[in-house]
């Protein structure tokens, strides 16, 4: 399963790891489908580290899961922060996932085992993600010129659809 994030700086296509992290994937995809991410800003942008979004208040403190509260981590030893473009749920400690997520700008091994990885960028790494990383930020790592996630498109997986039809 994949989604395309349409931003004011371009598009990012993300492969979502539905089989590896089913609960987190369900939450992320349901929020995408409901329009919960439409119009939100990328409120935290740390060059060489990551960019974060998913908070409808734009403060970095908001956002709800599809269940209303938090949900448990789905840490997998096979999923690592070993490259640019890893997508993960943001949290405030163990088992505090809600709606916010981030995308890495580089390998971040120190995050392994602390955040649920939900996918990876498969298109837009050298264009959109590069443009996002270059945006000037203030002392709190907030972009001076807002970057918005304007909408999300969910792409059906034809192989999964065929298997379900059998």
Instruction: Report the pLDDT value the prediction gives residue 161, as an integer from 0 to 100.
Output: 52
pLDDT tens digits, residue range 60-98?
A: 999 999 999 999 999 999 999 999 999 999 999 999 999
- Assign residue 127 a region: left if phi > 0, alpha if psi is -120 to 50, beta otherwise? alpha
Which secondary-structure segment (H or E) carries 28? helix 22-34
Contact residues for 100 (Cβ-Cβ < 8 A; gap 6+)? 52, 53, 54, 55, 60, 63, 89, 90
Tell me: pLDDT of 165 over 90: no
pLDDT tens digits, residue range 24-69?
A: 999 999 999 999 999 999 999 999 999 999 999 999 999 999 999 9
Instruction: Report the pLDDT value the prediction gives residue 122, as an integer from 0 to 100.
Output: 98
The span from the CA of 48 to the CA of 136, in Å, is 13
pLDDT tens digits, residue range 124-139?
A: 999 999 999 999 999 9
The span from the CA of 93 to the CA of 7, in Å, is 28
Instruction: Report the pLDDT value the prediction gives residue 160, as an integer from 0 to 100.
Output: 55
The span from the CA of 16 to the CA of 65, in Å, is 17
The span from the CA of 95 to the CA of 110, in Å, is 18
Of the candidate CATH numbers 2.40.100.10, 3.20.20.70, 2.60.40.3710, 3.40.50.300, the domain formed by 2-165 belongs to 2.40.100.10
Tell me: pLDDT of 157 over 90: no
Instruction: Report the pLDDT value the prediction gives residue 159, as an integer from 0 to 100.
Output: 58
Domain boundaries, the chain: 2-165
Instruction: Report the pLDDT value the prediction gives residue 156, as an integer from 0 to 100.
Output: 75
């Amino acid at each position: 399963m994949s989604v395309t994030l349409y931003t004011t700086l371009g598009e990012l296509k993300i492969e979502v790891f539905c089989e590896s992290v089913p609960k987190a994937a369900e939450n992320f995809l349901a929020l995408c489908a409901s329009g919960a991410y439409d119009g939100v800003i990328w409120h935290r942008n740390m060059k060489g580290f990551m960019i974060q979004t998913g908070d409808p208040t734009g403060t970095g403190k908001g956002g709800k899961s599809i269940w209303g509260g938090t949900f448990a981590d789905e840490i997998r030893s096979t999923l690592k922060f070993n490259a640019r473009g890893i997508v993960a749920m943001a949290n405030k400690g163990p088992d505090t996932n809600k709606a916010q997520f981030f995308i890495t700008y580089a390998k971040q091994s120190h995050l392994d085992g602390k955040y649920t990885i939900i996918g990876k960028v498969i298109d837009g790494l050298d264009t959109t993600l590069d443009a996002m990383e270059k945006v000037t930020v203030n002392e709190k790592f907030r972009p001076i010129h807002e970057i918005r996630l304007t909408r999300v498109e969910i792409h059906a997986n034809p192989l999964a659809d065929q298997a379900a039809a059998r």
